[in-house]
Amino acid sequence: MGKIVFVFAGQGAQAPGMGKGFYESSEAARAVFDAADHIRPGTSRMCFDGTEEELQETRNTQPCLFTVEMAIAAALREAGIQADMTAGFSLGELSALTYAGVMSLEDGLQAVMKRGELMQEASLAHETSMAAIIKLSNDEIRTICSEFEHVYPVNFNCPGQTSVSGDAQEMLVFADRVKDAGGRARFLKVSGAFHSPYMKTAAEGFGAVLDGITLSEPSVPVYSNCTANPYTKEIRDTLVSQIDHPVQWEVIIRNMIAEGADTFVEIGPGKTLTGLIKRINGDVKLYNVAVPEDLEALVR
């Protein structure tokens, strides 16, 4: 029998109303939202009733999306569905680590709150943006990025799609250069040049945050964005590096499949990760759990 993987979405997956159905239908999920509201008052309200603009602010996006993902994971566990291994995309890696018991829910949310604040501060220090590039290979994108002083390939998502971060003005010229090369740039709904050198101050600050948190050995393998392999004992340093280094998503998925994974469940709003996984390997089983009806379908 193959192994089940939970994958947790990152920034950009947020959506108004997210998680409300689970709050209303699952006692375990409701407990997560109540715990989040105790630590960060108004989190549930923001998830359920916040506007798209409000949820797009990094300091709001990260704790809200983390809370929703942990609530859905709790509802899945309540229904008897658990993961054999896990991974998360960018912010989602904090959810994956918390799911695996590396941090408590309370410590995980506190860490995510500080991470969001630090990344927003770093974003405000420079005019930057991110874009997903399609129809070009990783090598072609690296070559084009090398023509610019402040543009970096940062998320290796799947064959034919890589995200790039950089200076906002250079990114506009970069997008034209991509078009000339036969590709297309789609700018993302995020507030900064994540996973690039622009996030160095955020990474340094986050290291200090983690110094105050107890980090335990994961109960199931958690695959690192930076190394594309399961976390080892160097959890703190690897998690700090994640903020200002590229996400190796395609390699993560291939490595998981090589270790027996054949079923992937995306936790949280949207279907971005399952879409990427389908392009990496079309033979695996894919599910999305964003609303209670998705969970019911999965149990059946």
As annotated, the active-site residues are 90, 195
Q: What are phi and psi of 276, to 5 degrees?
A: -65, -45
Burial of 271 (0-12, 13-18, 19+ CB in 10 A): middle
3-state secondary structure 9-73: CCCCCCCCCCCHHHHHHCHHHHHHHHHHHHHCCCHHHHHHHCCHHHHHCHHHHHHHHHHHHHHHH
